[in-house]
């Protein structure tokens, strides 16, 4: 009897399992590196579609274009006397017209923007955080795969983007209106001055955007932050100069010798620059009027004598930029201070579902 032998093939050894193909115990979510851009894009789109954007754009546009109508009439009526006038294109923004029918002096376009600009900044930020909290969407937003600070950074960036868009539209409309109605073409230096003025205006309104964001973080109700923001806007607009002047008179009274009185006057002027409106007014005067050679009072009698003996001349763009550079730095510092306080406060707040 012959035994049949069956060949038994050895079983293959199990291959080692790669670590990268292992099934994780839970699903991991990837956090985008620029989560604030996602939040900013969504907020920017929502702001553009909101009625708030349309209303504020119309208000600011009307407030800026109405003076242009009377300014154009005044410049056209006095065309024979302005042929040799420098920076004629910039004067359309800074010229204070007078209504011929009533004789009432109408504020210039830059004055309207100085008054209405803070309203625009507060309106786009007063409910950035507390509005989400009141609607119950803040916990849902914080549960998304983004970092916590991306929320406040994105909302701040979106508000600044909307403000920048509104300013560009308004300035372009004013410039087009002046060019079409008067046929005045700007020079290269006037375009540079106007561009820097737009940046200064953007920095000025950014202060109020940061302040509105701070109010939205500190207060629980959007109505409360709106009341505080708009109330402070009214106080600063109407009584800001009086308040800072009173503080300056207490801190640096005008007494003593002439040099001491001059130093006290210079210190009082420095104190008045606590008001952002004063910073914006001085920077605007230097940029839109090349004849402005100084925006600070001398601190000595010798400085007053030199200023009095200065020969009137037109300042170049570089010289005007040197005059307004400290104002721009101060505006950035105030904005950064407001935003830093809002940022720290928001990062320490508890968000409950």
Q: Phi-psi category of 78—alpha, beta or left, where left has phi over 0 and alpha has psi -120 to 50?
A: alpha
The alpha-carbon radius of gyration of the chain (Å, integer) is 30
Do the domain assignments include residue 135?
yes
What per-residue confidence (pLDDT) applies to 198?
92
Q: What pLDDT band is residue 189 in, cutting at 50, 70 and 90?
A: confident
Do the domain assignments include residue 12?
no
pTM attached to this predicted model: 0.80
* Residues contacting residue 341 through CB under 8 Å, at least 6 positions apart: 214
Do the domain assignments include residue 20?
no
Report the domain count for the chain.
Answer: 1
Half-sphere exposure of 152 (CA within 13 A, CB side): 26
What mean pLDDT comes out for the span 89-113? 72
Do the domain assignments include residue 29?
no
pLDDT above 90 (res 337): yes
Do the domain assignments include residue 65?
yes
**Helix and strand numbers, DSSP H then E, in the chain:** 13, 0
Token look-up 């106080």 returns: 235
* CB 213 within 8 Å of CB 131: no
Task: List the single range of 38-42, 198-202, 208-212 with lowest mean pLDDT.
Answer: 38-42
pLDDT tens digit string along 160-180? 999 999 888 888 888 887 778
Task: List the single range of 6-20, 179-193, 257-271, 300-314 with lowest mean pLDDT.
Answer: 6-20
**Structural domain containing residue 173:** 34-348
Do the domain assignments include residue 329?
yes
DSSP state of 103: -
How far is the C-alpha of 87 from the C-alpha of 188, rounded, in Å? 11
Do the domain assignments include residue 25?
no
Do the domain assignments include residue 11?
no
């Amino acid at each position: 009897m012959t035994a049949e032998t069956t060949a038994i093939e050895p079983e293959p050894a199990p291959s080692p399992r790669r670590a990268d193909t292992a099934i994780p115990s839970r699903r991991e979510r990837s956090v985008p590196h620029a989560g604030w851009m996602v939040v900013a894009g969504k907020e920017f789109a929502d702001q553009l579609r909101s009625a708030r954007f349309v209303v504020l754009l119309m208000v600011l546009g009307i407030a800026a274009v109405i003076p242009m109508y009377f300014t154009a009439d005044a410049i056209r009526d006095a065309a024979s006397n302005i042929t040799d006038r420098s920076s004629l294109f910039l004067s359309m923004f800074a010229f204070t017209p007078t209504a011929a029918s009533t004789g009432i002096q109408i504020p210039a376009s830059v004055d309207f923007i100085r008054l209405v600009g803070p309203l625009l900044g507060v309106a786009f930020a007063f409910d950035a955080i507390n509005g989400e909290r009141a609607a119950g969407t803040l916990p849902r937003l914080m549960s998304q795969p983004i970092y916590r600070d991306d929320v406040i950074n994105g909302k701040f960036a979106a508000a600044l983007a909307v403000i920048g868009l509104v300013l560009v539209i308004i300035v372009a409309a004013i410039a087009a209106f002046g060019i079409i109605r008067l046929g005045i073409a700007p020079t290269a230096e006037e375009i540079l001055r106007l561009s820097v003025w737009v940046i200064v205006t953007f920095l000025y309104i950014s202060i109020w955007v940061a302040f509105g964001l701070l109010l939205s973080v500190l207060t629980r109700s959007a109505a409360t932050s709106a009341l505080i923001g708009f109330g402070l806007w009214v106080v600063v607009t109407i009584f800001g100069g009086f308040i800072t002047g009173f503080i300056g008179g207490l801190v640096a009274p005008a007494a003593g010798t002439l040099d001491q009185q001059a130093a006290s006057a210079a210190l009082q002027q420095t104190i008045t620059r606590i008001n952002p409106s004063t910073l914006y007014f001085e920077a605007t005067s230097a940029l839109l009027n090349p004849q402005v050679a100084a925006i600070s009072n001398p601190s000595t009698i010798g400085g007053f004598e030199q200023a009095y003996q200065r020969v009137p001349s037109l300042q170049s763009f570089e010289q005007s930029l040197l005059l307004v550079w400290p104002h721009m730095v101060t505006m950035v510092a105030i904005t950064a201070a407001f935003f830093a306080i809002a940022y720290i406060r928001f990062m320490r707040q508890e968000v409950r579902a």
